[in-house]
Amino acid sequence: MCGIIAYLGEKPAYPILMKGLYRLEYRGYDSAGIAILNKELTVIKTRGKVSELEHFINGKNLHGTIGIAHTRWATHGEPNDVNAHPHYSQSKNLAIIHNGIIENYGTLRKELIHRGYEFRSNTDTETLIHLIEDIQIKEGVELVEAVRIALNQVIGAYAIVIISKNDPDMLIAARKSSPLVVGIGEGEFFLASDATPLIEHTKDVVYLEDEELAIIRRGHELKIKTIKNKEKTPYIQKMELNLSALEKGGYEHFMLKEIFEQPRSIKDSMRGRLNVKKGTVKLGGITEYEQKLVNARRVIMVACGTSWHAALVGEYIFEDLARIPVEVEYASEFRYRHPILNEDDVVIAISQSGETADTMAAIELARDKGATIIGICNVVGSSIARATDAGSYTHAGPEIGVASTKAFTAQITILLLMALTIAEKKGTISRLRYQEILTELEQIPEKVTETLKVNDQVKFIANLYKDSRNALYLGRGYNFPVALEGALKLKEISYIHAEGYPAAEMKHGPIALIDEEMPVIFIATNKGTYEKVLINIEEVKTRKAKIIAIVTEHDERVAELADHVIEIPETEEMLVPLLATIPLQLLSYHIATMRGCNVDQPRNLAKSVTVE
């Protein structure tokens, strides 16, 4: 959601914070701000992107070796200069940056107004910093203690960092349900929402746990305590990230880089897990829970957005291979229903960021009901990865583009490996078939490379349809979730209205939308319901829509009907989503760039949705 970066050390803080903000900008980009302490506590903030903040600061004197900075995705209070973070306390002695939502801020705000506090912004965050200052004054306690007491009064989610004019050698941070990581360097400390801005500075990191406070003092070791005042020993981990993963590497956008990374990211998801020669699949992270999965009465997959689409593909794979009934739930719906869950159920939570608030809440609910919870996450050490009983990382590498691409194919790869493991243990797959799928799966990275060669053709097609106002994506079976994902990619980065539908369902309503203006994208590969999809294509053609079809190489029958065919290599039906998604990602990318949209940072979106 929002991005937090803070520094305390011997170097000038400003360049470190500014670079950190650029790294974190994918998390939120409607306003940004910075506070640097150098006798005076100076706060500068503005609506807009980090570059606008940098431009705004240009020439202003921001010297100092301690500071905090923030890039925002607005929840409470519209994105403007005043609502941007950091927020001062009443006396301007303190400043805070915050990611999350203080749910009871309304009540707290009323009380504080009653006690004479004046609010400058409409944010929940300002309430918290006034509350902390109020406690400090009223109770006559140290700042750390005031923060601790205040956090005990707060309901909601927070990752915060506080800086104090009266203590130029200290930063205080805390988290609950929003991520925060401490980087430890030589005589310096960093705080950030995720590890990406720390990489140039240190590999030693401490991931704060929920309700923990970090007290960072110049010349002292990192101190951690809980908001219940229990001291904790910091657990220092070595970060495994490299710089090239965070840079565009010659591509114009992160999204394009990440689309083209998929041969490698899929391979990395399988690395050390798939062994075709030995005919084995080993997902180390779930070994102890394999039997739970084998005996599961039911699997429930919870996720949001693109990860939810991966779960839908997973449903088909699990039911085909492992013969376990699967339900796929939007985490946001699941958490507020009264789902029937028991100890024989296994919940699989899927999340690229590992921080999505709804998915996290679904996990908590499942835990209360006694279900086993397996995670599939991309971000190592993320909240969801830590909250689940066991899990497998996707190892797709950092996904910076806000629209998810390589995480989707990596999630499907893990779901395949998981289903194969269970199927083999359960005996729901023959040895021959198992080996066939393994062999084909190993070929997939190469076939993705082959698929990526359609890029120029897709660009040509994108140019023809870039001015469309609507688009319809249709597929059946394994290709239905692909259609949903294709439509989501188009709408989120190009702002063209797009819908994904099961191809046969179209005639129950959406067919009314079809006219000669409407591009209809069919995923019409040669297995499963291919013959039926041909009929659906005929139905659309009769209504004069423009048809773009993703087909298996050498297909001739769809070509007779479609205006454009984009070929992908032949593969197993259940592996088709790994290939068919690629041209759809490219189509959205090219249409969006041709329309002048910011594909890496689409409007109103943020990379990890840590609020409801």
Active-site residue, from 176, 267, 546, 607: 607
Judged by CB under 6 A, which stretch of 129-137, 270-278, 301-309, 428-436 contacts ligand F6R?
301-309
3-state secondary structure of 168: strand
- Name the residue number minimizing CB distance to ligand F6R: 305
Question: If binding is defined by CB under 6 A, does position 305 make contact with ligand F6R?
Answer: yes
Question: If binding is defined by CB under 6 A, does position 608 make contact with ligand F6R?
Answer: yes
Tokens of 484: 């949903």
Question: If binding is defined by CB under 6 A, does position 269 make contact with ligand F6R?
Answer: no
Q: CB 266 → ligand F6R: shortest distance, Å? A: 17
607 is catalytic: yes
How many CB atoms sit inside 10 A of residue 286's CB? 25
Question: If binding is defined by CB under 6 A, does position 413 make contact with ligand F6R?
Answer: no
DSSP-derived pairing of the beta strands 546-552 and 519-523: parallel
Q: CB 306 → ligand F6R: shortest distance, Å? A: 3
Separation between Cα atoms, residue 585 and residue 448, nearest integer Å:
13
Separation between Cα atoms, residue 321 and residue 422, nearest integer Å:
8
Judged by CB under 6 A, which stretch of 186-194, 298-306, 386-394, 519-527 contacts ligand F6R?
298-306
Question: If binding is defined by CB under 6 A, does position 352 make contact with ligand F6R?
Answer: yes
Among 404, 525, 585, 593, binds ligand F6R (CB under 6 A): 404
Which residue lies nearer to ligand F6R by CB, 136 or 351? 351
Site string for ligand F6R, 364-403 (x = CB under 6 A): ---------------------------------------x
Preceding omega of 86 cis (within 30 degrees of 0): yes
CA distances from 331 to 127, 319, 411, 486, 487 (A): 30, 21, 16, 21, 20
> Cβ(174)–Cβ(147) under 8 Å?
yes
Among 307, 372, 479, 610, binds ligand F6R (CB under 6 A): 307
How many of the chain's residues bind ligand F6R (CB under 6 A)?
15
Q: CB 484 → ligand F6R: shortest distance, Å? A: 11
3-state secondary structure of 457: helix
Among 353, 536, 552, 585, binds ligand F6R (CB under 6 A): 353
The closest of 70, 32, 60 to 48, measured between CA atoms, is: 32
Among 42, 177, 265, 306, binds ligand F6R (CB under 6 A): 306
- Token look-up 């999809």 returns 533
Which residue lies nearer to ligand F6R by CB, 378 or 536? 378
Question: If binding is defined by CB under 6 A, does position 178 make contact with ligand F6R?
Answer: no
Site string for ligand F6R, 488-517 (x = CB under 6 A): x---x-------------------------
Separation between Cα atoms, residue 72 and residue 69, nearest integer Å:
10
Site string for ligand F6R, 516-535 (x = CB under 6 A): --------------------
Question: If binding is defined by CB under 6 A, does position 193 make contact with ligand F6R?
Answer: no
Among 304, 313, 324, 568, binds ligand F6R (CB under 6 A): 304
The closest of 527, 534, 539, 528 to 560, measured between CA atoms, is: 534
Active-site residue, from 2, 304, 377, 597: 2
Tokens of 406: 């390589």
Q: What is the DSSP string of 319-381?
A: HHHH---EEEEEHHHHTTS-----TTEEEEEEESSS--HHHHHHHHHHHHTT-EEEEEESSTT
Judged by CB under 6 A, which stretch of 70-78, 132-140, 333-341, 346-354 contacts ligand F6R?
346-354
Question: If binding is defined by CB under 6 A, does position 609 make contact with ligand F6R?
Answer: yes
Burial class (CB in 10 A: 0-12, 13-18, 19+), 543: middle
What region, left, alpha or beta, does residue 548 occupy, with left being phi > 0 and alpha being psi -120 to 50 degrees? beta
Residues found near ligand F6R in the complex (CB under 6 A) = 304-307, 351-353, 356, 359, 403-404, 488, 492, 608-609
Task: Give catalytic residues, as residue numbers.
Answer: 2, 607
